[in-house]
């Protein structure tokens, strides 16, 4: 099957396994407009691939995904149409991942931040390099953690633990992420992709109808639980995108270090 995707998101085929690679390694796979749209589009294309049985999601280079591209996000300050389009696209990413019928294995080879953290945690099996971390720093840039963190984490983690990380944006070391339920297990850094492939081959050998049905049941529970929370989360995130705090925090991040 031929995939209609930009160079920023690559799909590699190996028998029944499809590896989806976030492919902006020089930018630590930060999500720009092109990659964001591709992440919303890829799941239906994968579902239409009749030979696919399992998907691995990973990042090129030394990061899984460093979150939103700051240049792109800063452009929203003066472009409300682009801002609103990004929110619609972000909602599609979460919705498409929740309804996607095949198992997804996140091979988290490096930092997974912001949307990158959401992509990892929405996967079915999350393999973390022992030396990496997760983080959702929305609040630190004046935004509600609306693209999954605030709504989704509360379903799968002890809320008194996850609140601290969502409120502060602090990094969650790999071992702590497993303890909290945000990841499945840790893997030696050099073995993350190989272990993901081993796991994918095992799942690909399972009876496909039974595996798909089991995933649909599990994700159906999550989808129903998130039916009101996710739209509310994206609406709240959109409201804070228009706030003075967000504008000031973004401008501070974009300001050269030498500027007083």
Low-confidence ranges of the chain (pLDDT < 70): 256-260
Q: Residue 218 in 3-state DSSP?
A: helix
pLDDT of residue 256: 59
26 domain residue, yes or no: yes
Residue 119 burial (C-beta neighbours within 10 Å; 0-12, 13-18, 19+): buried
* pLDDT single digits (tens) 241-250: 999 999 999 9
Element (H, E) at 9: strand 9-14
CB atoms within 10 A of CB 76: 22
pLDDT of residue 148: 73
pTM for the whole structure: 0.95
239 domain residue, yes or no: yes
What CATH number is given to the structural domain containing 123? 3.90.226.10
Who's near 83: CB < 8 A, 6+ residues apart?
A: 76, 238, 241
Domain count, the chain: 1
200 domain residue, yes or no: no
Q: Can you give the residue range of the structural domain that contains 104?
A: 9-190+207-254
259 domain residue, yes or no: no
pLDDT of residue 151: 86
Size of the chain in residues: 260
On whether the CB atoms of residues 249 and 141 are closer than 8 A, the answer is: yes
246 domain residue, yes or no: yes
Question: Which DSSP string corresponds to 31-83?
Answer: B-HHHHHHHHHHHHHHHH-TT--EEEEEESTT-SB--B-HHHHHHGGG-HHHH
116 domain residue, yes or no: yes
* pLDDT single digits (tens) 54-108: 999 999 999 999 999 999 999 999 999 999 999 999 999 999 999 999 999 999 9
pLDDT of residue 11: 98
CB atoms within 10 A of CB 55: 25
pLDDT of residue 147: 82
């Amino acid at each position: 099957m031929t995939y209609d995707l930009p160079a920023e998101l690559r799909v590699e085929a190996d028998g029944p396994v499809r590896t989806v690679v976030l492919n902006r390694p020089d930018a630590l796979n930060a999500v720009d407009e092109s990659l964001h749209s591709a992440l919303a589009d890829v799941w239906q294309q994968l579902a239409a691939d009749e030979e696919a049985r399992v998907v691995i999601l990973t990042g090129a280079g030394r990061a899984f995904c460093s979150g939103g591209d700051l240049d792109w996000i800063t452009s929203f300050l003066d472009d409300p149409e682009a801002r609103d389009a990004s929110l619609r696209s972000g909602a599609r990413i979460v919705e498409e991942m929740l309804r996607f019928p095949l198992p997804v294995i996140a091979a988290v080879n490096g930092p997974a931040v912001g949307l990158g953290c959401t992509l990892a945690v929405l996967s079915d099996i999350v393999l973390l390099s022992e030396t990496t971390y997760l983080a959702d720093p929305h609040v630190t840039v004046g935004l509600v953690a609306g693209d999954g963190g605030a709504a989704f984490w509360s379903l799968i983690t002890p809320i008194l633990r996850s609140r601290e990380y969502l409120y502060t944006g602090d990094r969650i070391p790999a071992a702590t992420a497993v303890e909290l339920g945000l990841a499945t297990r840790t893997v030696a850094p050099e073995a993350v992709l190989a272990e993901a492939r081993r796991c994918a081959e095992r799942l690909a050998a399972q009876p496909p109808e039974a595996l798909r049905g089991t995933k649909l049941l599990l994700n159906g529970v999550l989808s129903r639980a998130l039916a009101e929370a996710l739209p509310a989360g994206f609406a709240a995130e959109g409201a804070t995108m228009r706030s003075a705090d967000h504008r000031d925090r973004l401008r501070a991040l974009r300001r050269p270090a030498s500027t007083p």
